[in-house]
Every structure is written in C-alpha cells, then in structure tokens.
A and B are shown apart, each in its own frame.
Chain A
Amino acid sequence: GAVVSQHPSWVICKSGTSVKIECRSLDFQATTMFWYRQFPKQSLMLMATSNEGSKATYEQGVEKDKFLINHASLTLSTLTVTSAHPEDSSFYICSASATYSGRITDTQYFGPGTRLTVL
C-alpha cells in the first residue's frame, strides 16, 4: 500500500530557531500534500494544502511567513517553522493524495507525524 514518511519523527529546538519537517510519498506520486497540526487532546487542524510546483494554500489563521511550505517534487513537501516559539510546540502530520495515471484518488495517506517541542 501507499506509504508516507515524515522526518524527523521528533525534534526539540530552542526558541527563535527554525525547524524543517519533510514529508515524502515513498511509492507513489502525490500532486497534493496536506499539513495538519494537532495540539494535545485536540483533533487535527488543517494548516495548508501544498500542490507540487505552486504556492501552498493556507487556512485562515495560519501565518504564511511563519510556516513555510515547499512542494518541489511529486514525492516531497517540506514544512519549515521559522523562528519557532514554545506555542508552536505541537504534533505535525502530513498527508498525501495519490495520483495514479493522472487521476486523483479519494484516499489520503497520512504520515506518522512529527513531534515538535520548542524550549
């Protein structure tokens, strides 16, 4: 089945530094990838939709300049949290929508998530 990986699985950083999280589709091409954020005991909230080769679409309330998203290829999207602060500590999950033979399937495949802790 389709597999999505994320790297790193967890990261601890100092306040003010930037952190990059990678999301890869391992055995399929993904024209669309999604980034979610999940705070403790809360559900996933969509942050942005990332389309290969174009600018990401951000949900209301998500700062574009703080959460930089790059989807440079059909198998890789990156989320960079710039100038991270303790309130950015969260669980970040990506998902990918598979494209087979040019058709976008209905199923999104989710990565295992990245736990970010900002000290």
Chain B
Amino acid sequence: KQEVTQIPAALSVPEGENLVLNCSFTDSAIYNLQWFRQDPGKGLTSLLLIQSSQREQTSGRLNASLDKSSGRSTLYIAASQPGDSATYLCAVGEGNQFYFGTGTSLTVIP
C-alpha cells in the first residue's frame, strides 16, 4: 500500500523567506501528485497538480517538482507571507484514489 511522508512536520519561518516542503512516497507507479493547503478547521484547497509524466508545475509563488524514480516531490514557496500560514498536504494519486501525507504545518512570522 502507498505510504506518503512529509518532512518537516512543522516549520516556522520569518516573512519573506523562501522555503521548501518535502513529500516522499513508497510506490513510484503513481498517476499524479497533488499539493493542497488546509486552513484550521477547513477543507482542502488544491494548489498544484502534477501528472506522472510531468516534472514540475508552477503557480504564482509556488513551484512543485516531481521525481517519480526517487519517490519525491517538493513544494517551493517563494517570498513567504503570513497569509501562507496553513497546513500543506501532498497526496499521491493512483487511479481515482488519493493517499495523503501527514502534512507540514507552516507558520510565517510577520
């Protein structure tokens, strides 16, 4: 069964800093990988979706990369802002199912 791990579990950075969130998965035969943002007590907001044939996706200050062979994905956030504070989840897609990581709780300090 697919296992998804995210490191670090929590991260606190000063405003303006660039940062990287990591996601690793055990089964490389994935269909896609998606990064989500979750605010406390709220549902999920999709940030970036990377197909298995792609190596990266960009949206604004966010850039996600995918290395299937090594079972890794990174989410790069440039020039972090206090509004970026949230929990970030990566999810690996196999068919129509997602296997979620444990999340990284990000706090951006003004």
Contacts and interface: CB of A to CB of B under 8 A. Distances in A.
Interface of A: 6, 32, 34, 36, 42-46, 49, 91, 93, 95, 97, 104, 106-113, 115
B51 A107 contact: no
Given A43-B89, A107-B49, A93 B43 contact: yes
Q: How large is the interface on B (under 10, 10 to 19, 20 to 34, 35 or more residues)?
A: 20 to 34
Dominant SS at the B interface? strand
B97 A49 contact: yes
A43 B102 contact: yes
Contacts of A113: 41-43
B42 A97 contact: no
B99 interface: yes
Given A34-B97, A46-B97, A49-B96, A115 B41 contact: yes
